[in-house]
Structure 1
Amino acid sequence: MEQKELLMHWMDEGMVSVPQVLLTHYNELKLTEAELVLLLQIFACKQKGRHFPTFEELAARMTISAGECSILIKKLIQQQMIAIEQGDSLGFESYSLKPLWKKLAEFMMQQSRQSALHQAMNDEQDLYTCFEQEFGRPLSPLECETLAIWIDQDHHDAVIIKAALREAVISGKMNFRYIDRILFEWKKQGIETLEQARKYGQRFRQNQSSPDQVQRSRKAVPFYNWLEQ
């Protein structure tokens, strides 16, 4: 067979698109390599229109016997990785991989939740450290509780809380009550991003000072760009 004909034959056979997450996380789904390859073979057969290949057909594509293939299929059904569906026609059956895709989706959602929780814990720890550095001392139990309330009950983002802290630093009012007022006002105004908070803070400070005071302040004190901190 010439190379051109061989290439055309390969193209006629088609290609199998396998989700990367399955190849990456099959071990965490408690699948062995043999079980993974068997699932891929079933997937490939279904794409070619063979929805219920025999144990012999599947084993011929692998390095296991038909008997071993039968055992693996039963195990995968028990593990709810595959299912056998009845078709509309009498006696028509097919393998379904829907249970596998469902388990994979549930696994990825769990991974996402764990990642988000881990990130939230890191952000919260970083937030406490940031406050202690600005205050120059450890936070009191009441202050720690206030921080927890801002995060858990008021649902303020850690970035926004840090922005409110920076506003308190700029205003020279380093206390939790003032920061709480800032967060309350921002939430009332629908401020959710760092850029929105920066612009609102600038407008607020300009409204609190006369034009002459603003001009003198600009000459005496350089602008504190806390967005870059």
Structure 2
Amino acid sequence: MQKADFLDWLRAGNITIPAALLTEYKNMHLTEQELVLLLQVIHFSEKGNDFPTPVELSGRMAVTAFDCTEMLRALIQKGFIEIIDGDSPEGIRFEKYSLEPLWEKLIDRFLLNRKREKVEARQVEETDLYTCFEKEFGRPLSPFECETLAMWMDDDQHDPVIIKAALREAVISGKLNFRYIDRILFEWKKNGIKTIEQAKSYGRKFRQHQGQARQADEPKVKSRPVPFYNWLEQ
């Protein structure tokens, strides 16, 4: 036989396995033997056999047919597979293994992991936010100030990035107090500001409007222009 024949033989033996099954089976409380059994069921199914017997399964594993029977029973009880009935086009009644419960559990694991990642990221953002405030104020925050920060995030649904931006605006304006920062956040929320990009755009329009208003009110006297520090562009 040629090497190409061996390669064809290997390719013919490939099965489709979600990577999540290999990374999450331990967290799903599956043993290695149960995992291999599930892989065998998948392989049989892809080859057209949706209901392999324990003897057929054990023939590919280092366990007995009795062990396969016990593992199949345990997998059904734990809700990883199920046996469903059906009728063939010829009207013959048949049974097969369904792996839908297994895929649903994998989806649940994915959603749980995504939720945990978001919670952890939120906790990091909140910790960093408190640190930024304490650094700018030069002291630990009071219980009332901590409660105000929590209210901005939980009740008003302000993103920590936007709260940091409002903090920096207060620093640049020389009005470092929670009341002033709250006014900034209130104004931004009223105008639908939720991202730094929107804050930049709103700031530019606001300053243009202020500049035009000042020019209209000021007397026609030549004066040196005063540079304006745009913190959003830093």
Same fold by TM-score, threshold 0.5 exceeded? yes
Shift of 1:217: 3.0
Q: Could you list the per-position Cα deviations for residues 136-175 of structure 1 after superposition, in whole angstroms to 9, with x for gaps in the alignment?
A: 1111221111111101111111001101111111111111
Where 1:87 maps in the other structure, the secondary structure is strand
Relative to structure 1, the CA distance from residue 147 to residue 178 in structure 2 (aligned partners, 3 Å threshold; closer, same or farther) is same
Counterpart of 1:196, as a letter, is Q
Where 1:216 maps in the other structure, the secondary structure is coil
The 2-side partners of 1:8 and 1:25 are apart by: 31
Where 1:190 maps in the other structure, the secondary structure is coil
- The answer for the alignment partner of 2:114 in structure 1 is 112
Matched, 1:38 2:37: yes
For structure 1, which runs of at least 5 residues remain unmatched after alignment? none
**Equivalent pair of 1:170/1:224 in contact (CA under 8 Å):** no
- The answer for the alignment partner of 1:164 in structure 2 is 166
The 1-side partners of 2:38 and 2:75 are apart by: 9
Shift of 1:72: 0.6
Relative to structure 1, the CA distance from residue 214 to residue 57 in structure 2 (aligned partners, 3 Å threshold; closer, same or farther) is farther
Matched, 1:72 2:71: yes
Matches within 5 A, 1:1-229: 1-11=1-11, 13-89=12-88, 90-205=92-207, 207-208=209-210, 210=214, 215-218=225-228, 223=229, 225=231
**Equivalent pair of 2:168/2:231 in contact (CA under 8 Å):** no
The 1-side partners of 2:77 and 2:60 are apart by: 23
Q: Could you list the per-position Cα deviations for residues 155-213 of structure 1 after superposition, in whole angstroms to 9, with x for gaps in the alignment?
A: 11100110111111111111111111111111122112112213323443454455788
Shift of 1:84: 0.5
Where 1:64 maps in the other structure, the secondary structure is coil
**Equivalent pair of 1:167/1:201 in contact (CA under 8 Å):** no
The percentage of counterpart residues that share the same residue type is 52
Relative to structure 1, the CA distance from residue 83 to residue 227 in structure 2 (aligned partners, 3 Å threshold; closer, same or farther) is farther
The 2-side partners of 1:186 and 1:132 are apart by: 23
Counterpart of 1:216, as a letter, is V
Shift of 1:93: 0.6
Counterpart of 1:2, as a letter, is Q
Shift of 1:225: 4.6
Counterpart of 2:14, as a letter, is M
The 2-side partners of 1:21 and 1:88 are apart by: 32
The 2-side partners of 1:214 and 1:195 are apart by: 31
TM-score when normalising by structure 1: 0.89
Relative to structure 1, the CA distance from residue 52 to residue 156 in structure 2 (aligned partners, 3 Å threshold; closer, same or farther) is same
Where 1:95 maps in the other structure, the secondary structure is strand
TM-score when normalising by structure 2: 0.87
